[in-house]
Amino acid sequence: MTRLRLNDAVMHRRVLITGIGIVSAVGRTVAGLWESLTSLDDPESSDRNAAPRHNGLQQGVADFTGRIDDFCELPAVTRKAIQKSLKLMNRETQMGVAAGQQALQDSGLLLNHDPERIGVCFGAENFPVMAEDFQSGVQACSDGSGFDPNRWGQDGIPEVAPLWLLKCLPNMPACHLAILNDLRGPGNTITQRDVSANMAIAEACRIIKDGTADAMVVGATGTTLSSVDRRPSCLEDSVSNSRHEAVCRPFDLRRRESVPGEGAGVIVLEEMHSALRRGASIYGEILGAGAASWMTQDSIVSGRTALVKAMRQTLQRADVASDTLGHIHAHGLGTVMSDIAEAQAISQVLGDFAQTVPVVAAKSHLANAGAGSGMLELIASLLALRHGHLFPVLNYSEADPACPVRPVRNCHDAAGSCFLNLNLFGRGLASCVAAGTFRG
Amino acid sequence: MKRRIVVTGIGCVTPIGRTIQELQASLYAGRIGVGNLTLFDATCFPVRIAAEVRDWDLSQVGVDSRRWQHCPRQTSFAIGAGLQAAHQAGVLDARIDLERFGVYLGCGEPFEDFQTFAASIHSSSRESGGVESDSATQHALRVFDPDTERESEPDMPAMHLGEMLNAQGPILNCISACVSSTQAIGEAARMIRQNEVDVMLCGGAHSTIHPFGVTGFQRLSALSTRNDNPQAAVRPFDADRDGFVIGEGAATFIIEELEHARRRGADILGELTGYGSAQDAYRVTDSHPDGRGTTSALQRALASAHLNPEDIDYINAHGTGTILNDRVETLAIKHAFGEYAWKVPVSSTKSMLGHATTACGAIELAVCLLSLQSGIIPPTINHEKPDPQCDLDYVPRNAREVNCRHVLTNNIGFGGQNAALIVSRFDESSRAARRAA
């Protein structure tokens, strides 16, 4: 046994993907996502003078308003329960729950399930305190001279909704999904920003592999949209300022910034025999995962080194030769430094093959949904596996010599049977998942 | 062969002890950390008591505290506890594979400055109602301190500790309400067990002693309002209990694979033998009335440790002192432990520590490890008037000598989250280890 391989007790339980669901900037159905990802395939994409394209970026998910009709078709009892709970959900929770219900419905997992054997694991942002929840309290403590904090305890607190605090807990998407669907297995929520999604997948796989659960609903939800409630993202200097039209151009020489967005993705992971027994539709298999950190003052060195380690771990654990990868789904943030770090990592791990293997970056279509992006991107690649071909990196036309990778420019590249999904956080954290077509 | 996981370092910063030695002395003396709330002016608040960490400064662990002035309190606690654990375990000096050394914490949500937040809302409120978002954003960008804001993320303690300890493996934080740090420890152990890493720094830190925290818990009617008698405020399992008192603090552990610890000659403080996590799937506000999620977590912890209920010598309960929690937790212990529930001593150290929210599980695991080592279990302070629905042995008032072989800590969180951990006295050929093998 090699050092990094799982021990024998957990090796033989394989983890398959049997359901997917999304809420994204380009729509709130999986079919709509794929249609959008592949709809802009035209030769003009390589024209550097062509107008930049974006599918609803900076507007958030316009057609997800949080009303019950925005959720997928639901059994009456679930619909009623969600409707009742909506006031307890912030937007990230609503998106996570909507994507989760889609994924569960898609998987058919709940038709005959043992609630004790199904868990939930999510990746989420830190949910901020929303201005709207405190506005009437602040007003009650204000007069012409401004807000008087000495009145808050007496006049402000009673104006805050009794269950406000529960709306702010990042574990709420997972908890609502467990409650709505009677899932009593393990439940956890990882709050590690942009690398959360792959980490949630890795944790769920461990739980299935050691026999603690037979299936896990694994999701990620997030936003980087700016507002008074999103100050940390506003303060990042490489985030687009809303006063001009932002364009996400992963790996392009003219890239400048990431583009704020929002969204959620959920997959159902299931132990192989459980999935096969019930004849589930299989999107693919999780082959391995890895995560690493490397923190220095130099963000390119930090990101590159962490990602190199995470990718190598993942390939080793998945027992996948790097030259058999069909494609790589890059983090593709679209900032100068992050893309250099990522491209150099890919190049370092894959060597000459980095010039050949197609790289996709769905953030060019979907913007940066924070913790949610990693899962949306994995789902986009699963759809590519199913359809057999990839989708273009939008707005990519001019190669950057500092980014020695091959971004996909159209829909003609084959997706292959195996890919790496990369998550990167600028301070030197990286997580990686290897997934591929299931071969029994 | 199942990889066994041992604890080789413990660190803590709590209202009744800023080191593990101080914590032990306070626990067994029944010292209560609850007093008047001083971290902000709570004069007009309906709740004016808290269990605060007093006289704490990072210089106590040899760190220049000026560098950390922009960090929230939980980061300071986490760094303090983390460095204590790392020093005790000797991982800073040891030759370990840093790529197989990670950090997994359960730190909660730091809150922004309340007055600045309120001023932003006030300046951007429309007369017709609602907040002018762009105006509020621009105001916030002007008035919030960027350094403080960057530090106000729950993952920052894990990131800082990873950097300080040069851990190059996975670094992550989880939030699952009051079971966060319990789960961080349990999931870190799972990573070691599945041979992804050899060593993890794990635990949690939190402070909700803040206008937002008091507002939120007060609106949930979860807090004791015994402002005139803070020392008597937390009364777990007592008939007159009226809620919990917000606490704060941190506890962290170095856990590692047994052979790894042996090879480097580390002192073994206990073995992490069991972990169970379960969801109630009932309501986000309160536990299932039968305590089904808690029961499952307890049963899963026992099963994963290959232990029977009778093997457990002490249970450190979640024991918040709220009407519902204590009743449901008692019921769940009965479901999981059967007749033995009435024999096993159960205590709630929140009666002394207050409720450190996401960090409570880690702090309570530190308490359990102390009991394994000392053979003394801490009492439930203020347990004076029995509640007919809480009829177990809650170790009232005084610490008790118990030969502890295996002890369990249980936690329950909003959203229906439940988790339990079992630590055992390290025994080369323990029954649990033989069964697991």
Q: Where are the domains of chain A?
A: 15-130+168-436, 131-164
User: What's the Cα-to-Cα distance from B204 to each of A116, A194, A265, B76, rounded to whole Å?
Assistant: 27, 21, 28, 12
- Predicted confidence (pLDDT) at residue B430 exceeds the cutoff of 70: no
Active-site residue (options: B139, B318, B383, B406): B318
- The predicted pLDDT at position A59 comes to 54
Which range (A29-33, A41-45, B233-237, B259-263) has the least confidence? A41-45
Which residue would you say has higher pLDDT here, B126 or B34?
B34
Give me the mean pLDDT over the A338-362 stretch. 97
**Residues near A331 by beta carbon (within 8 Å), at least 6 away in sequence:** A194, A338, A342, A361, A363, A373, A374, A377, A422, A423, A424
Is B178 considered catalytic here? yes
From CA B159, how far away is CA B347, in angstroms rounded? 34
ipTM of the complex: 0.96
- Predicted confidence (pLDDT) at residue A406 exceeds the cutoff of 80: yes
| Closest approach of A252 to chain B, Cα-based (Å) | 28
* Pairing assessment for the beta strands A429-436 and A284-293 based on DSSP bridges: antiparallel
> Are A152 and B211 inside 8 Å of each other by CB?
yes
Distance of alpha carbon B364 from the chain centroid: 6
Is B390 considered catalytic here? no
Nearest to A126 among B44, B153, B293 (CB): B153
Confidence of residue A46 (pLDDT cuts 50, 70, 90): very low
Confidence of residue B267 (pLDDT cuts 50, 70, 90): very high
Nearest to B296 among A10, A116, A151 (CB): A116
- Predicted confidence (pLDDT) at residue B234 exceeds the cutoff of 70: yes
| Closest approach of B398 to chain A, Cα-based (Å) | 35
From CA B150, how far away is CA A410, in angstroms rounded? 38
Nearest to A228 among B43, B136, B167 (CB): B136
Give me the mean pLDDT over the A299-309 stretch. 95
**Is the distance from CB of B354 to CB of B50 less than 8 angstroms?**
yes
> Are B119 and A193 inside 8 Å of each other by CB?
no
Active-site residue (options: B12, B107, B174, B178): B178
> Are B155 and A7 inside 8 Å of each other by CB?
no
Contacts of B196 in chain A (CB under 8 A): 4, 6, 206, 317
Nearest to B121 among A134, A192, A199 (CB): A134
| Closest approach of A169 to chain B, Cα-based (Å) | 7
Average pLDDT in chain B: 95
Contacts of A188 in chain B (CB under 8 A): 174, 176, 183, 187, 277
Confidence of residue B53 (pLDDT cuts 50, 70, 90): very high
- The predicted pLDDT at position A1 comes to 30
* pLDDT tens column, A174-232: 999 999 999 999 999 999 999 999 999 999 999 999 999 999 999 999 998 865 444 44
Residue A73 is given by DSSP the state P
Q: Which residues of B399-417 are buried (b: 16+ CB within 10 A; e: fewer)?
A: bbebebbbbbbbbbbbbbb
| Closest approach of B30 to chain A, Cα-based (Å) | 32
Nearest to A6 among B102, B122, B195 (CB): B195
**Measuring CA to CA, which residue among B412, B404, B374 is closest to residue B312?**
B404
From CA A250, how far away is CA A315, in angstroms rounded? 24
Whether B225 and chain A come into contact, CB under 8 Å, resolves to: no
What stretches of B296-395 adopt beta strand conformation (E)?
A: 314-316, 346-347, 376-377
- Predicted confidence (pLDDT) at residue B136 exceeds the cutoff of 80: no
Nearest to A192 among B45, B109, B173 (CB): B173
- Predicted confidence (pLDDT) at residue A364 exceeds the cutoff of 90: yes
- Predicted confidence (pLDDT) at residue B437 exceeds the cutoff of 70: no
Whether B365 and chain A come into contact, CB under 8 Å, resolves to: no
Which residue on chain B is closest to A177 by alpha carbon? B281
- The predicted pLDDT at position A128 comes to 82
- Predicted confidence (pLDDT) at residue A9 exceeds the cutoff of 80: no
Domains of chain B as residue ranges with CATH: 7-111+152-436 (3.40.47.10), 114-150 (no CATH)
Confidence of residue A407 (pLDDT cuts 50, 70, 90): very high
Pick the CATH number of A15-130+168-436 from 3.30.70.60, 3.90.280.10, 2.20.25.90, 3.40.47.10: 3.40.47.10
Is B306 considered catalytic here? no
- Predicted confidence (pLDDT) at residue A55 exceeds the cutoff of 50: no
> Are B41 and A149 inside 8 Å of each other by CB?
yes
Residue A426 is given by DSSP the state T
Whether B303 and chain A come into contact, CB under 8 Å, resolves to: no
* pLDDT tens column, A134-146: 999 999 999 878 8
From CA A21, how far away is CA A6, in angstroms rounded? 29
**Is the distance from CB of A414 to CB of A390 less than 8 angstroms?**
yes
From CA A274, how far away is CA A214, in angstroms rounded? 7
- The predicted pLDDT at position B384 comes to 97
| Closest approach of B24 to chain A, Cα-based (Å) | 31
DSSP for A209-249, written as a single string: HTTS-SEEEEEEEEE---SGGGHHHHH-TTBPPTTS-----
Average pLDDT in chain A: 90
Report the run of H or E that residue B119 belongs to, with start and end. helix B114-124
- Predicted confidence (pLDDT) at residue B1 exceeds the cutoff of 70: no
From CA A253, how far away is CA A235, in angstroms rounded? 24
Give me the mean pLDDT over the A269-295 stretch. 97
**Measuring CA to CA, which residue among A338, A322, A306, A334 is closest to residue A434?**
A322
Which residue would you say has higher pLDDT here, A231 or B411?
B411
**Measuring CA to CA, which residue among A343, A313, A169 is closest to residue A252?**
A343
Q: Which residues of B122-161 are buried (b: 16+ CB within 10 A; e: fewer)?
A: bbbbeeeeebbeeebbbbbbeebeeebbebbbbbbbbbbb
> Are B162 and A293 inside 8 Å of each other by CB?
yes
Proportion of chain B in helix, strand, coil states, percent, rounded to 5: 40, 20, 40
Give me the mean pLDDT over the B28-57 stretch. 97
**Is the distance from CB of A380 to CB of A37 less than 8 angstroms?**
yes
Residues 234-253 of B with CB under 8 A from A: none
Whether B411 and chain A come into contact, CB under 8 Å, resolves to: no
**Measuring CA to CA, which residue among A191, A232, A245 is closest to residue A367?**
A245
| Closest approach of A53 to chain B, Cα-based (Å) | 25
Both tokens of A407, joined, read 């971004």
Which residue on chain A is closest to B151 by alpha carbon? A232
Phi, psi of A102 (to 5 degrees): -60, -45
> Are B41 and A150 inside 8 Å of each other by CB?
yes
| Closest approach of A334 to chain B, Cα-based (Å) | 21
Percentage of chain B exceeding pLDDT 90: 87
- Predicted confidence (pLDDT) at residue B133 exceeds the cutoff of 80: no
Active-site residue (options: B139, B160, B306, B355): B355
Interface test with A, best of B138, B176, B280, B286 (most A CBs within 10 A): B176
Interface test with B, best of A120, A165, A226 (most B CBs within 10 A): A165
Whether B283 and chain A come into contact, CB under 8 Å, resolves to: yes
* pLDDT tens column, A141-168: 998 788 999 999 999 999 999 999 999 9
DSSP tally for chain A: helices H, then strands E: 14, 13
Contacts of B118 in chain A (CB under 8 A): 134, 138, 141, 147, 149, 152
> Are B279 and A120 inside 8 Å of each other by CB?
yes
Confidence of residue B181 (pLDDT cuts 50, 70, 90): very high
- The predicted pLDDT at position B432 comes to 57
> Are A175 and B131 inside 8 Å of each other by CB?
no
Give me the mean pLDDT over the B53-82 stretch. 95
- The predicted pLDDT at position B224 comes to 98
Which residue on chain B is closest to A317 by alpha carbon? B196
Residues 101-160 of B with CB under 8 A from A: 102, 109, 111-112, 114-115, 117-122, 124-125, 129-131, 133, 136-137, 139-141, 144, 146, 149-150, 152-155, 158-159
- The predicted pLDDT at position A54 comes to 47
| Closest approach of B56 to chain A, Cα-based (Å) | 26
Residue A127 is given by DSSP the state P
- Predicted confidence (pLDDT) at residue A245 exceeds the cutoff of 70: no
